[in-house]
Amino acid sequence: MTFAFALAGALAAASAVAAFALFLRLRSLSYRVDKVSRVIERMATGNLAARAMLSGSDAAARLADAVNAFAENAQQRQEAWMQRERAQKRLLASISHDLRTPITSILGYVGALRQGIVGEEAPEEKERYLDIIHRKAEDLTALVDDLFYLTRLESGDLVLDLQTIDLAEVLRQSVLGFALQLEAEGADVQIHIPEEPCLVRANESALRRIFSNLISNSVRHGSGKTAFGVDLRSEHLTSGPLGECYQVTIWDNGQGFPPGALDRVLGSGRTRVDGSFSGRAGLGLAIARDLTEKLGGVLTARSVPFERTAFTLTLPRAR
């Protein structure tokens, strides 16, 4: 009987110890979970930098890791969104300025014509005014068209149908489209495009727009150049995912761009929309960049003013 009582007492003591130990564990777990809960509450008020710092590998620690991972992802998304918002504001400010300039010019010349400042006795001057108004209206239309096109690209609404295309032929036709402008500039034009087909998987309309924007950029903004060139060559890149590819380089020796300017539009760390460039130069380069990425290629640039400003489009060969 004494043994039975002793055994019962021992079991009761052991149970009490176990219960107390469980109580302590639950109390500790409750404290740790409550600590995570307070971090979640801080996150809910907008403090995405809050983190739950718990050691160990219990359920509370795993919960803290999950909450921290969520907070890190949310913070990165918020920072990307804020960066995009800042870039869009810069873009809107730039576009507003570039829209206002031709509109102001058009209104000024129209006002002069309406007020009779240039009358019928000076038909040549009147015709010059009308030509200026027409050119400004064309610039305005092109700027708005580029803006809408870039908006479609940025929003993902533009779907490109990829086909096997002769890159050399599309490039050749694109250069011919600017033959008159290049000839009028008097620059030494150097074209090196292979006669044999250079096949890539791409969209012909997108390629034409890329080449048009890059060549137009040189024609419009490469002032002071004495040479302009286009090179198409086959390459085997040992680094990166492109491997067997074709590279198109469009270059000139004009005024180029200031240090760092091209990196803000074409660099790996840039935002999707950038207001660093003015007017069609910025929109055209941004469109060329985004279209190149949609085609699975890479667009890079390097500029040394009055020495060489070059844009290089790299596309994988068709398999």
pLDDT digits (tens, 9 = 90+) for 147-164: 888 878 877 788 888 999
CATH 3.40.720.10 fits 92-155, yes or no: no
Amino acid at 217: N
* Residue of 74, 77, 66 lying closest to 36 (CA atoms): 66
- Which residues in the chain are classed under CATH 3.30.565.10? 163-316
Binned at pLDDT 50, 70 and 90, residue 1 comes out as: low
Q: How many residues does the chain have?
A: 319
Q: What is the mean pLDDT of residues 18-26?
A: 50
Q: What is the mean pLDDT of residues 9-37?
A: 57
- Which residues in the chain are classed under CATH 1.10.287.130? 92-155
Lookup: tokens for 190:
């150097």
- 8-22, 183-197, 237-251, 267-281: segment of lowest average pLDDT: 267-281
264 three-state secondary structure: helix
**Structural element, H or E, at residue 26:** helix 2-44
* Residue of 221, 198, 231 lying closest to 283 (CA atoms): 221
Do the beta carbons of residue 82 and residue 88 sit within 8 Å? no
pLDDT tens digits, 99-141: 777 788 888 888 888 887 766 666 788 888 888 888 888 878 8
Distance, CA of 10 to CA of 20 (rounded, Å): 15
Strands 188-192 and 227-236, bridge-based pairing: parallel
The superfamily in CATH containing domain 163-316 is Histidine kinase-like ATPase, C-terminal domain (3.30.565.10)
Distance, CA of 294 to CA of 285 (rounded, Å): 14
Q: Is 19's pLDDT higher than 60? A: no
Lookup: tokens for 13:
């003591």
Distance, CA of 295 to CA of 314 (rounded, Å): 10
Residue 278, class by beta-carbon neighbours within 10 Å (0-12 exposed, 13-18 middle, 19+ buried)? middle
- 34-43, 132-141, 285-294: segment of lowest average pLDDT: 34-43
pLDDT tens digits, 218-264: 887 778 889 999 999 998 876 667 778 999 999 999 888 877 677 66
Distance, CA of 176 to CA of 290 (rounded, Å): 24
